[in-house]
Amino acid sequence: MANLYAKNFNDADETKTPPKAKVEIVKLGNVNASKLVLEPGWMWSECIKPTVGGESCQAGHVGVVISGRLACTHNDGSKIEVGPGDAYYFAPGHDGWVVGDKPCVMYEIVEAGKDFGPWTHSR
């Protein structure tokens, strides 16, 4: 028998609130779906790096932007900017930041047990 899952982000299994961000996570068997709301002024190197350390984000990200814009620069110097309707993959070794004065809302899917680093700010 197949495992079927459906959960609403309004009833998230976990909520993380690092500076200028809110991440709601629902657990769907062996994967987690996350809704990220990053506020204007959010930047990985300013808001997350002080907690996790390192020179750049070491997580890979696969997702879709719903609203707002996000820019990403990889350690190799490559850059990308994504906006509403864009699907994206950011390889480990990057910095990212919200572009403009509107929140960036994104959805990401990751294997259970993987995370966006030790964001210890949980509900």
Range of lowest pLDDT (5-14, 43-52, 107-116):
107-116
How confident is the model over 62-107, as pLDDT tens digits? Answer: 999 999 999 999 999 999 999 999 999 999 999 999 999 999 999 9
> How is domain 15-111 classified at the CATH fold level?
Jelly Rolls (2.60.120)
Please name the residues in contact with 7: beta carbons below 8 A apart, sequence gap of 6 or more.
13, 26, 27, 28, 33
How confident is the model over 19-72, as pLDDT tens digits? Answer: 999 999 999 998 999 999 999 999 999 999 998 889 999 989 999 999 999 999
Residue 46 in 3-state DSSP? helix
Backbone angles phi, psi at 54, to 5 degrees: 85, 170
For the whole model, what pTM was predicted? 0.88
Domain boundaries, the chain: 15-111
Residue 105's nearest CA partner among 59, 44, 71, 64 is 64
